[in-house]
Amino acid sequence: MTITSDNLDRLTLLSTIETDAATEGVVAARSLILLRWCVLLGQFAALLGGYYVFALDLPIGGCLAVTASGLVLNIAAMLHYRIRSRLYSHEAALYFAFDILQLSLLMYLTGGLDNPFAVFLITPVAMAATLLRFWTVLALTGLTLLCLLLNAIWHLPLPWPYGQLDLPAMYGWAMFAALALSASFISIYAWSVARDSRRVRYALSLAQSELAGANQMTAMGALAAAVAHELGTPLGTINLVAKELQGEIEKDDPIREDVDLLVSQAERCRQVLADFARKPQAEGGDPYRILPLPALLDEAALAHQDGRVQFMVLAEDAAALPLMVRRRPELLHGLGNFIQNALQFAKSVVVVRLSWDAQKVMLKIDDDGPGFPAAVLQKMGEPYISTRSGSGNHMGLGTFIAKTLLERTGAKVNFNNRPEGGARVAVTWPRAAAIFKV
């Protein structure tokens, strides 16, 4: 996939989808366990210090029991960490939900929102916003607001060493409003910043994938040039000997047909090497550089048809104006390779179906052959992966090269098996691709 400004604009809109894809399995259990140990030590220190040092009238038994529940959970989390070090989004959400409920219960026992430590209630959701899915963060934010509301309405008196501290009810509601707004703002801001960071990582991953493909194509281009140079001399010899045999054998000789075929194929090989070695002309030098897409498909298939299999191009709306396309070598080679494979494996017919609208152009190459083996279907399009790799000197590079060339025109290529039998190669371009701007 080529990274363009259109792709980055699309990623900007992928709020939930892109975040969902980027957060699965990225939450480290070890980090949550260490953070909870720090929180638990802080809670025990605050409770014991307040009860024994500052002589606060705390319900110490209930408070220690609530804190001990966090201790039990952390021990269980350590056992889980030994099995799997990464958490899914929903698993991490359950840990954060527990933290919110535990802190809320502690606040209930120690004065509710009158307690200055109530600000810690927004800490779990702030942390979750940097790690989890959008809808998960939204649910945790809702849980936090609910806990804040309940603590504003119901709570035990605030422990105070100098008699009872009576704060007006308006103060509790003001604290609720302040903490609720803070929790909402912090969670939204933290999630937005984390989302932008994930977008950058996603774009970097795409760039690395594109660069790896480009490096492979460059290496194979250099190899192809070397092979073309080495083949020139022996192919010339083969062509010369074949023509001499053709001149010496009578036309009614039984092997004359085979010799004629040998001459024609050797000449075709020479022409392929000549076209490869010749510097391509500028696009404007071809009088047929813009033509209907069905005509380009016919041209791509022409060299591979032997009459054994019927080849058809069907447009979804034949009455509509033809879809014009730029005649590019990438298109001819990429589509020609897929059509050639379909013709070789088909039993009787290969059908290319065309459809387009204002957003995209779709092309499906269907054959009635055996289809793609399940063992290689998921990896089709990767180098050295082929249904015939290792047999007949096939290296499994043709499909990879064709896929890469078409992707450079903006296409997306998918490989599937048809429900009724046979293989299908689906090629989809955005309607705004450069090859259609004629």
Question: CA 249, CA 251: separation in Å to the nearest integer?
Answer: 7
Rounded (10°) CA dihedral 261, 262, 268, 273:
170
Residues present in the chain in total: 438
Radius of gyration, CA atoms only, the chain: 34
User: For 310, phi and psi rounded to 5 degrees?
Assistant: -75, 135
Q: Which of 18, 2, 26, 1 is nearest to 196 (CA)?
A: 18
How far is Cα of residue 137 from the mean position of the Cα atoms in its chain? 23
Mean pLDDT of 21-42: 74
**pLDDT bracket for residue 218 (50, 70, 90):** low
CB neighbours of 270 closer than 8 A, spacing ≥ 6? 235, 236, 239
| Amino acid 191: pLDDT | 85
**pLDDT bracket for residue 433 (50, 70, 90):** confident
Q: Is 87 exposed, middle or buried (0-12, 13-18, 19+ CB in 10 A)?
A: buried
Indicate if the pLDDT at residue 122 is higher than 80. Answer: yes
| Amino acid 334: pLDDT | 87
Mean pLDDT of 47-63: 86
Q: Which of 415, 437, 430 is nearest to 10 (CA)?
A: 430
Q: Which of 69-73, 267-271, 356-360 has the lowest mean pLDDT?
A: 267-271
Domain ranges of the chain: 5-210, 213-277, 283-436
Q: Tell me the helix, strand and coil percentages in the chain, rounded to 5.
A: 60, 10, 25
Class of domain 283-436: alpha beta
Question: CA 121, CA 176: separation in Å to the nearest integer?
Answer: 11
